[in-house]
């Protein structure tokens, strides 16, 4: 209680018979008893802190074993109510305030109520239930009343403010300094020192220890006044001022959101509101050393020793025979450096050398020329700076896991930015040669290929089987830590065959040998470890090298669909039994291949499924064994983010997508209100990025499902939010406010044939309507006039919110058309078409309109 600064304590079930009994058993240090109702079975009591002298009991009642004790402190009334635990609350909390140990059930028989009429009638209170209390089945409940003043603390870690950097001065000075540093591996640390020293001069760096959101000079004056007077009125004035300022800041923040010029800031706001999955916040017992030990163990898996000996011997022979390649091993050019820098993303974490991508991306021509010579020297010598081979591994908890096992975490490597730039340059050279070797069935990380295309290819094959009365047996193979188990010698053997260049082979082997890494979970770090196998997740080269590592995966009797390490085998048969046999043979072949090349399949997470239209066999399961383990038969397997089912109805996938859309729409709703919020263009961009991207993922796969209306409903709700129109607005009318951007001929024809009210205002739906940059209140009214649906008398009467649809001008039906075109009190001289143009005259008329449409 002392730690939580509790002012008033309300106790229930004191079990005291009189005041003397209560004084003897109910003494609480630092608090004074001001009122109690004694009862040998129940009983309540109220205490206040010793330094509070304005509290008084104003009401007490004890009828039918229901005890009520009301206490006032200044303008606050605390009512302590107790009744026996024989009734359930209508909306019970997540955890009850009373734990019945015998039956192991929670109840909430305790009730505390605070009431106060201030802050514009708002009651701001929060409740927190603590854990079990010693020697009692009751749990303490902490009630906090009043507007909290959040004090935000920052870690004492300075950060670069790249938005306020003077990049021109930075580039000029670095170009002047860099000419005194030789472009060699041994001078890399001097290069880092020059970059940092120059950045310190031209890029602001620092941190704020703490601050209160919304606090300004007026709040400081009110707080100083309160410290002098200790008056509740001054407290109310301070809280009101701070609350008003925070509301204003929120409205300004949403109205200034702009994805075109400051998308990073906009996305940051959406992430903080929960639009992006930021991982589980559950407590776990796994430490960084356990994750690091697992990574080391995964790189030392058992394999076929004879096969390993042959591969190592062949690799040594090939390395001796290799010669420098005229084009692949040539020095890097300035054009290659510039092209790699253009593709380098900003706002990314730095490696151990603390060089950020911004430092290189905004560098001058002499610095880029230095990098060209530096990387060319690395290619010729095959040597790397020590910092290039150090990685900071961040362990992220995988979705849906509890974090009790090291395997529940995904290791993401933060590598040196200059090292990743070197990787990107090498990738541009080797990718065309490697692409020729990758099988067509592999779609992962390849140009013009994607997840949706791969799922579509899979489902198209299954549907073709339906047409031919065939059943499709499928196995979805799971590989454990696929990148971390890549065998270095095996990869180098395949790389030397694909890229016959001594310089690149030597350099790549150095890049993958004796790499040092440290695992971090929050502020805790593991001991330094050494890795000689595996590909770091976060490396630019890793996806392409992994595709090369699997390019010779053996063919099976069925068709194989790959997306990086996600592998699906599909075979079409007449009888399910034949499908089981075929999958057994295929998985056995893959098992031998994985063992030879030291990859670790996970039979417990591998799934099989049978796709067919025979309802009599709906619950028959395939019997498949993988590495001597019975494979689980799943009736609803998930492949590349899309949930499949036996007959490809996609019911569960669409239902799950609908739930995601609902939660994301709630995020968008936080960006606007009835008369305030972000402008239409910002809302539209956020909607396309958050809502439509989720809704349309894999649409070409499930678009013919009978359940797609569930997604359409959510999209209609979102269109209503963006356009500011009312719920009963027809869909086509809402689309008129959102029209624009890459329409098709079919969409244009559908629009011209619609009978929506005022559809003639939009002649070409491929062109955006006027007013998307207007304030939220004006934009909403404008679209309600365009659609003919708003809070006019006619609509309000239909909705049962108004007795009569008449207009105050005497007309018997107040429609939006009447208001704009005919009403003698309000009509706009240029009519609805003039309003649609959204010029200054029309906007002024909307602002002066006396009806809240």
pTM over 0.85: no
373, 361 in Cβ contact below 8 A? no
pLDDT at 569: 94
Report the alpha-carbon distance of residue 314 to residue 337 in Å, rounded: 34
In the Cβ-directed half-sphere of 376, how many Cα atoms lie within 13 Å?
16
Beta bridge partners of 47: 9, 33
- The conformation of residue 821, written as its DSSP 8-state character, comes to I
pLDDT score recorded for residue 543: 94
Q: 3-state DSSP call for residue 364?
A: coil
For position 92, what pLDDT does the model report? Answer: 53
- pLDDT confidence of residue 202: 95
d(CA 370, CA 648): 57
Residue identified by tokens 């053997």 is 493
Q: What is the pLDDT of residue 112?
A: 59
Name every residue whose Cβ is closer than 8 Å to that of residue 194 and which is 6 or more positions away in sequence: 174, 177, 178, 181
Residue 295 phi, psi dihedral angles, 5° rounding: -60, -40
SS3 content of the chain, % helix, strand, coil (to 5): 40, 15, 40
Q: Which residue has the tokens 């909607």?
A: 687
Burial of residue 702, with CB atoms counted within 10 A of its CB: 0-12 exposed, 13-18 middle, 19 or more buried: buried
pLDDT score at 550? 94
Token pair for residue 259?
Answer: 């994805």
Which pLDDT does position 16 carry in this prediction? 85
Asked if residues 741 and 766 have their Cβ atoms less than 8 Å apart, the reply is yes
Burial class (CB in 10 A: 0-12, 13-18, 19+), 209: exposed
pLDDT along the chain (853 residues), means of 10: 77 83 82 86 86 83 81 80 61 57 61 52 66 74 71 76 92 94 94 95 85 81 85 79 76 63 62 56 76 88 89 93 90 95 90 93 95 95 93 88 86 93 95 93 88 92 93 92 92 94 94 93 90 90 94 91 92 88 92 92 92 91 91 93 94 93 84 70 80 88 92 90 84 53 62 71 75 85 89 90 90 91 90 89 90 85
Residue 470 has, within 13 A of its CA and on its CB side, a CA count of: 16
CB atoms within 10 A of CB 770: 14
Radius of gyration of the chain (CA): 34
Terminal C-alpha separation, the chain = 52
Strands (E), 612-756: 625-626, 629-630, 632-633, 638-639, 642-643
Contact criterion met (CB below 8 Å) for 477 and 609: no
d(CA 216, CA 211): 11
Which residues, 6 or more positions from 811, have their beta carbon under 8 angstroms from its beta carbon? 818, 822, 823
Q: How far is CA 216 from CA 44, 220, 223, 234, 246, in A?
A: 44, 6, 11, 16, 10
- Bridge partners of 633, per DSSP, are 608
User: What is the per-residue pLDDT for 90?
Assistant: 45
Q: What is the DSSP string of 429-456?
A: HHHHHHHTTS-TTB-TT-TT--HHHHHH
Q: Which residues pair with 601 in a beta bridge?
A: 479
């Amino acid at each position: 209680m002392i730690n939580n600064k509790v002012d008033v304590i309300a106790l229930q079930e004191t079990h005291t018979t009189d005041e003397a009994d209560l004084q003897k058993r109910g003494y609480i240090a630092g608090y004074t008893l001001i009122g109690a109702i004694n009862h040998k079975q129940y009983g309540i009591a109220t205490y206040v802190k010793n330094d509070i002298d304005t509290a008084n009991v104003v009401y007490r009642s004890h009828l039918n074993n229901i005890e009520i004790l009301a206490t006032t402190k200044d303008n606050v009334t605390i009512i302590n109510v107790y009744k026996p635990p024989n009734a359930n609350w209508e909306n019970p909390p997540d955890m009850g305030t009373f734990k019945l140990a015998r039956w192991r059930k929670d109840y909430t028989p305790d009730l505390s109520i605070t009431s106060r009429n201030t802050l514009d009638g708002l009651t701001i209170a929060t409740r927190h239930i603590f854990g079990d209390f010693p020697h009692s089945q009751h749990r303490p409940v902490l009630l906090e009343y009043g507007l909290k003043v959040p004090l935000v603390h920052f870690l004492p870690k300075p950060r670069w403010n790249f938005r306020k950097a003077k990049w021109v001065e930075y580039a000029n000075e670095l170009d002047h300094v860099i000419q005194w540093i030789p472009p060699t591996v041994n001078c890399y640390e001097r290069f880092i020192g020059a970059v940092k020293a120059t950045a310190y001069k031209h890029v602001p760096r620092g941190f704020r220890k703490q601050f209160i959101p919304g606090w300004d000079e007026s709040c400081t004056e009110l707080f100083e006044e309160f410290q002098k007077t200790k008056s509740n009125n001054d407290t109310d004035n301070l809280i009101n001022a701070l609350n008003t300022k925070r509301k204003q800041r929120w409205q300004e923040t949403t109205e200034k959101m702009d994805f075109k010029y400051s998308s990073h800031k906009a996305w940051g706001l959406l992430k903080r509101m929960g639009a992006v999955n930021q991982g589980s916040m559950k407590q776990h017992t796994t430490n960084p050393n356990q994750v690091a030990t697992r990574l080391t163990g995964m790189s030392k898996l058992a394999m076929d020793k004879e096969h390993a000996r042959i591969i190592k011997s062949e690799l040594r022979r090939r390395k001796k025979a290799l010669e420098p390649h005229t084009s692949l091993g040539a020095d890097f050019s300035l054009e290659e450096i510039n092209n790699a820098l253009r593709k380098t993303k900003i706002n990314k974490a730095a490696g151990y050398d603390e060089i950020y991508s911004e430092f290189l991306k905004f560098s001058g021509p002499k610095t880029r020329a230095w990098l060209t010579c530096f990387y060319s020297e690395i290619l010729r010598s095959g040597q790397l700076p020590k910092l290039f081979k150090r990685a900071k591994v961040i362990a992220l908890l995988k979705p849906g896991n509890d974090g009790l096992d090291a395997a529940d975490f995904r290791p993401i490597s933060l590598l040196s930015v200059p090292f990743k730039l070197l990787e990107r340059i090498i990738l541009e050279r080797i990718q065309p040669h490697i692409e020729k070797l990758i099988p067509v069935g592999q779609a992962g990380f390849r140009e013009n290929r994607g997840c949706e295309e791969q799922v579509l290819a899979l489902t198209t094959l299954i549907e073709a089987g339906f047409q031919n009365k065939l059943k499709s047996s499928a196995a979805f193979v799971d590989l454990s830590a696929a990148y971390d188990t890549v065998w270095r010698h095996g990869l180098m053997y395949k790389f030397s065959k694909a890229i016959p260049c001594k310089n690149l082979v030597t350099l790549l082997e150095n890049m993958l040998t004796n790499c040092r890494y440290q695992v971090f979970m929050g502020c805790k770090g593991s001991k330094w470890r050494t890795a000689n196998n595996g590909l770091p997740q976060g490396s630019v080269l890793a996806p392409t090298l992994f595709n090369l590592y699997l390019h010779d995966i053996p063919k099976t009797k069925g068709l194989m669909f790959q997306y990086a390490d996600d592998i699906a085998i599909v075979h079409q048969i007449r009888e399910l039994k034949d499908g089981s046999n075929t999958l057994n043979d295929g998985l056995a072949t893959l098992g031998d291949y994985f063992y030879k090349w030291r990859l670790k399949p996970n039979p417990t997470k591998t799934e099989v499924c049978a796709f067919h239209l025979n309802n009599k066999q709906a619950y028959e399961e395939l019997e498949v064994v993988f590495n001597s383990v019975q494979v689980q038969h799943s009736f609803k397997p998930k492949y590349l983010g899309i949930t499949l089912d036996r007959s490809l109805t996609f019911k569960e996938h669409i239902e799950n997508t609908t739930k995601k859309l609902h939660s994301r729409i709630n995020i968008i709703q936080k960006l606007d209100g009835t008369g305030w919020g972000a402008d239409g263009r910002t809302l539209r961009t956020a909607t396309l990025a958050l809502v439509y991207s989720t809704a349309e993922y894999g649409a070409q796969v499930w678009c013919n499902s009978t359940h797609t209306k569930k997604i359409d409903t959510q999209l209609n709700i979102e269109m209503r939010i963006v356009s500011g129109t009312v719920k009963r607005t027809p869909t086509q009318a809402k689309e008129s406010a959102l029209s624009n951007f890459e329409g098709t001929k079919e969409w244009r024809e559908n629009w011209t044939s619609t009978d929506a009210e005022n559809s003639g205002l939009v002649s070409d739906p491929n062109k955006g309507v006027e007013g998307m940059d207007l304030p939220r209140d004006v934009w909403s009214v404008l679209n309600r006039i365009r659609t003919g649906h708003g809070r006019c008398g006619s609509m309000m009467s239909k909705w049962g919110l108004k007795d009569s649809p008449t207009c105050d001008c005497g007309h018997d039906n107040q429609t939006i058309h009447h208001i704009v075109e005919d009403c003698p009190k309000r009509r706009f001289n240029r009519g609805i078409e003039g309003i649609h143009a959204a010029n200054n005259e029309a906007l002024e008329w909307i602002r002066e309109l006396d009806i809240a449409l």
